[in-house]
Chains A and B, each alone.
Chain A
Amino acid sequence: DAKTTQPPSMDCAEGRAANLPCNHSTISGNEYVYWYRQIHSQGPQYIIHGLKNNETNEMASLIITEDRKSSTLILPHATLRDTAVYYCIVRAPNAGNMLTFGGGTRLMVKP
């Protein structure tokens, strides 16, 4: 699986959009971009994933650049409960096995 690079930490004001970047310049053509988050003392929670088109669900939007070398997770209206570590993971489909977590981005949503 391709390696990802994320900033170690970010702050966001409550109610504003949180934009979390991820670089994955070595991504292969069949690899998906997944986002998970981990709230303190809980297991990771799946947020969203995509291949090349932008995706949106009830939690977030995922914007993938045309060359697929980077992506941005957008939380449109961040709340204090969105404070967590956000992990960007690149993974081949039906890889069957592990998710490879990097260091992630620690997002702090402030009132």
Chain B
Amino acid sequence: DTGVSQDPRHKITKRGQNVTFRCDPISEHNRLYWYRQTLGQGPEFLTYFQNEAQLEKSRLLSDRFSAERPKGSFSTLEIQRTEQGDSAMYLCASSFDRGAGGDNEQFFGPGTRLTVL
């Protein structure tokens, strides 16, 4: 399978602990996105990368959140000092930017479900 993969699929942690999630995009995709989805809601954008550069961050991405994509391939999303309100599904998506305008659909991974106790 050459789709977007995420690891782990499920994470249970205690409040105050740090957690890190990994996303492996489709190999030729140069854009990578992180979203968060709480129960009953649509996904909400957190941040995105063009290659290794983080180009946009949502206001939802507090100082406790940090994302990296060091070599322009896989990405990690770290949450420090987790809070119960961080419990959600964290989704990663990737796309290929053709660079000359036009549309580019995003392909999503299965998500990491985080539960903060």
Chain A residues at the B interface, C-beta cutoff of 8 Å: 32, 34, 42-46, 49, 85, 87, 91, 93-94, 96-104
Beta-carbon contacts under 8 Å, B83-97 to A: 91, 93, 97
> Across the interface, do B102 and A101 meet the contact criterion of CB distance under 8 Å?
no
A34 touches B110 (CB 8 A): no
Residues of B within 8 A of A97 (CB): 33, 45, 48, 55-56
Q: A49-B103, A96-B55 are in contact. Are A43 and B42 (CB under 8 A)?
A: no
The distance in angstroms between the C-alpha atoms of A104 and B97, with both chains bound, is 26
Q: How far is the CA of A106 from the CA of B106 in the complex (A)?
A: 21
- Tell me which residues across on chain A come within 8 A of B42, comparing CB atoms: 85, 87, 101-104
Which residues from B are CB-within-8-Å of A44? Answer: 43, 91, 93, 108
